[in-house]
């Protein structure tokens, strides 16, 4: 699920026209955190998912692909 979650976050980010760097900056996260999540190396903590969801303008549940 990690890779699927990361790819879904990447898709949402690109739909908003954001780079990884822009998402990281706006969410108050390190660029490497976003890169690792999207690549499937890291599974984000709830707080991180919340920050990403706020920047992307979606609910946390919408970050999780079904």
pLDDT of residue 7: 94
Asked if 28 and 55 touch (Cβ cutoff 8 Å), the reply is no
Q: What is the Cα–Cα distance from 40 to 38, expressed in whole angstroms?
A: 5
Rg of the chain (C-alpha set): 10
* pLDDT tens per residue, range 11-66: 999 999 999 999 999 999 999 999 999 999 999 999 999 999 999 999 999 998 87
CATH number of the structural domain 2-63: 1.10.260.40
Indicate if the pLDDT at residue 3 is higher than 70. no
Domain boundaries, the chain: 2-63
CA 48/CA 46 separation, integer angstroms = 5
In contact, 20 and 56? CB cutoff 8 Å? no
């Amino acid at each position: 699920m990690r890779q699927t979650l990361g790819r879904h976050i990447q898709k949402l980010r690109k739909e908003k026209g954001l780079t990884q760097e822009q998402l990281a900056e706006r969410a108050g996260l390190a660029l490497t955190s976003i890169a690792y999540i999207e690549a499937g190396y890291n599974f984000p903590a709830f707080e991180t998912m919340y920050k990403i969801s706020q920047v992307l303008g979606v609910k946390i549940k919408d970050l999780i692909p079904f």
